[in-house]
Amino acid sequence: MQYQLHDIVQLKKDHPCKKSSFWEITRMGVDIKLKCLGCGTSVMLERIDFDKRLKKIIQKADQTQ
C-alpha cells in the first residue's frame, strides 16, 4: 500500500483509548510516527511493523500542498 506524510490511516488494532481507530502519519523515516486522532497520543512504529498493521488508508493527504 502506498502511503505518505499526513495520510489518515486505519490500523488492524485500535488504540487502547477507543476514541478513534484512525491515525495520522506525522513523520516518515526509518520509523513511522503516528498520531491517534482520538486522544492525540503519538506512537512510533518501525516501518516493517507499520506495514504489517496497516489495514486501510482512509484519506490521502492533499498532494497539491
The binding site for Zn ion (CB under 5 A) comprises: 15, 17, 36, 38-39
Q: Which is nearer to Zn ion, 6 or 38 (CB)?
A: 38
Rank residues 8 and 36 by Cβ distance to Zn ion and give the closer one: 36
Residue 65 corresponds to which cell in the numbers above? 500542498
Strands (E) across 1-65 are located at 8-11, 22-28, 31-36, 42-46, 54-59
Q: Cα separation of 39 and 31, whole Å? A: 21
Q: Whose Cβ is closer to Zn ion: residue 13's or residue 65's?
A: 13
Provide, rounded to whole angstroms, the least separation between the CB of residue 24 and Zn ion: 12
Report DSSP state, residue 3.
-
Cβ at position 19, least distance to Zn ion in Å: 5
